[in-house]
Amino acid sequence: MVGFITVIKSPNTNGASCEDFFSIRNEAASANSRSKRFLLEVWKRRRWMLLLADATIIFGVFLVAYLIRFQTNLQNYFSVNEQLDFEAYFMSAYVRAAIIFAGFWLALMTRDGMYSHRLIAANSPKTENRLLLWSGIKSLAILMAISFLFRGFLLSRFVYGMAFAMSLVGLVGLRSLGRWITPRMVDFGAPRRRTILIGTNLPSIEFASTLEKHSNGSQEVVGFLEFPDERCLDPKDMPGCKILGGADEIDLLRNKIEFDRVVLSAEDFLGAKEKQRTPLLMRILNYCEAYDIPLYLISFSSDIMILKSEMGSYQGVPLLLLRDSTQHPTYTAVKRVLDIILSLMVLTLGAPLWIGIAIAIKLNSKGHVLYVQERIGMNGKPFRMLKFRSMIDGADEQLEDLIDFSSMEEPVFNIRKDPRVTQIGAILRRTSLDEIPQFINVLKGEMSVVGPRPERTELVQLYNAYQWRRLKAKPGITGYQQVMSRGDPSLAKRIEYDLFYLKNQSPWLDLNILLKTTIVVARGDGME
């Protein structure tokens, strides 16, 4: 029977045997296996590949900008009288400038940890884009300074500007592509970074959830180790929490479970018995360093956001700068200037429309055109906020009939289908045109165009210490919370968005909020 099988020929016209067929399949499988191993090896070195790709983009785009400026019909739009060609010296000057520009940009990104695989260097997409922007601006400023100092680099400013803009788009796009590829490579077989957390209190659980949620599948929490005499939280509060043993048993896990990172909860560590702390920490530290495993420490609270620039040390003692609101002095000054310019443009250019709205309000119902109400501004300072009146005259006196302030679970409310709203007022609220007079508050310095929304005095009086934190910046006409959860009745969610904005204020974020505001208003999503 065996002999019979070995001599059977397939109906293939080439006369290939079954052995040939299986040999071809094996060769194909082997080739696929080699390709897979090659891709996975490349993926392991993705940080170096990213560095090479960034260098190629910046250098290549710089030369493309040169060609666009001097070797296409675009040069007709510029008053260039001198004869330009591909002379060796001229071209080499731009090549040298491209090398300097790319070198400084890559060096600054390396300093910011953008090519590091360390957990502490991980950034959100918004933070990463902001780092790309500022490192690019600094590199451009350095190149411009060099061009003033050395005549050999006194080249076209158009090329410099275009190279910066196109490079920034390319670098952001490359990282967006990387975030799209990551989960697919994990499905393809790329290994995940495996983390063990020491401590089972709430900060550890929240960090584990954050780590897996924002890693695009590249991170995996293996499990938790408990401190001596420590009890794990209720399993209902920590789904998926796998207890691997005690913290003093970490050296016994290496032969049982693979992991390449250890994260220690400061809150759990400080809660351990005093006599056990130092010996336990030394045991964990010695083990991690012996096997070259990074050991990280989670701060005592996840309610306070800490930036990398706020971490440091004094004479070897670790220090964290704790603050909710982060504003660079230059950003504060620039934002104020832009607030004034934008407010003047809106109030003057839209004057005919604002006059028409005022007339419509007056004809539609009795009362003043403008509604003036005391609101709470930065650091709890009250001010008189202006709006186009969207309710009937005397609406404030009817509020207590609609809202019982003493029985509210939290100091926030949002009345849907408010019966006090006029016909014109409903349109103004849906389009947010009732907020236009607040640009006067912006000119007076009481508000900003972008910031947390100002709240009513009676509600702020009910704030606890945690809720009061949202008052640490100048209130805005629009804000991060408005574009992310417009009309959301949850104060906790509003504060979460406000605190994120306070900690991450930047021109880039403000511009993003303004662009999203136009979309939210155009859709008419919710109202306040």
Per-residue model confidence as pLDDT tens digits over 152-175:
666 778 888 889 999 999 999 998
pLDDT of residue 57 exceeding 90: yes
pLDDT of residue 422 exceeding 50: yes
Q: How confident is the model at residue 403 (pLDDT cuts 50, 70, 90)?
A: low
What pLDDT is recorded for position 450?
Answer: 94
Q: How confident is the model at residue 203 (pLDDT cuts 50, 70, 90)?
A: confident
Percentage of the chain beyond pLDDT 90 is 18
CB atoms within 10 A of CB 404: 9
Q: What residues are paired with 311 via a beta bridge? A: 320
Report residue 376 as tokens.
């709470």
Rg, Å, the chain Cα set? 31
Residue 79: exposed, middle, or buried by beta-carbon count in 10 A (0-12, 13-18, 19+)? Answer: exposed
What pLDDT is recorded for position 519?
Answer: 83
CB 387 within 8 A of CB 438: yes
pLDDT of residue 444 exceeding 90: yes
Percentage of the chain beyond pLDDT 70 is 75
CB 136 within 8 A of CB 105: yes
What pLDDT is recorded for position 213?
Answer: 79
Q: How confident is the model at residue 295 (pLDDT cuts 50, 70, 90)?
A: confident
What pLDDT is recorded for position 188?
Answer: 78
Q: How confident is the model at residue 24 (pLDDT cuts 50, 70, 90)?
A: low
What residue type is assigned to position 289 of the chain? E
What pLDDT is recorded for position 225?
Answer: 85
pLDDT of residue 22 exceeding 70: no
Q: Which domains does the chain show, CATH number per domain?
A: 44-188 (no CATH), 193-304 (3.40.50.620), 329-523 (no CATH)
Q: What residues are paired with 9 via a beta bridge? A: 17
What pLDDT is recorded for position 244?
Answer: 82
Report residue 294 as tokens.
């990074």
Averaged pLDDT score across all residues of the chain: 78
| pTM metric for this prediction | 0.60
What pLDDT is recorded for position 274?
Answer: 62
Q: Which residue has the higher pLDDT, 96 or 488?
A: 96
What pLDDT is recorded for position 78?
Answer: 46
State pLDDT tens for residues 39-52.
Answer: 777 777 888 888 99
CA distances (Å), origin 439, targets 297, 342, 343, 478: 45, 9, 5, 11
pLDDT of residue 14 exceeding 60: no
- Range in 30-39, 400-409, 461-470 with the lowest mean pLDDT: 400-409
What pLDDT is recorded for position 86?
Answer: 45
What pLDDT is recorded for position 84?
Answer: 46
Q: Which residues of 212-221 are buried (b: 16+ CB within 10 A; e: fewer)?
A: beebbebbeb
**DSSP readout, 206-228?**
HHHHHHHHTTTT-EEEEEEEEPT
What pLDDT is recorded for position 193?
Answer: 82
pLDDT of residue 524 exceeding 70: no
What pLDDT is recorded for position 527?
Answer: 45
What pLDDT is recorded for position 7?
Answer: 35
CB 469 within 8 A of CB 499: yes
What pLDDT is recorded for position 77?
Answer: 46
Q: How confident is the model at residue 58 (pLDDT cuts 50, 70, 90)?
A: very high
What pLDDT is recorded for position 364?
Answer: 86
CA distance 406 to 412: 12
Tokens 């200037």 found at: 337
Residue 92: exposed, middle, or buried by beta-carbon count in 10 A (0-12, 13-18, 19+)? Answer: exposed
Nearest to 481 by CA among 422, 414, 416, 408: 414
pLDDT of residue 329 exceeding 90: no
Residues 6+ apart with CB under 8 A from 438: 385, 386, 387, 447, 477
Element (H, E) at 351: helix 351-364
CA distance 279 to 96: 56
pLDDT of residue 245 exceeding 70: yes
What pLDDT is recorded for position 285?
Answer: 85
For residue 9, give the DSSP letter. B
CA distance 483 to 473: 18
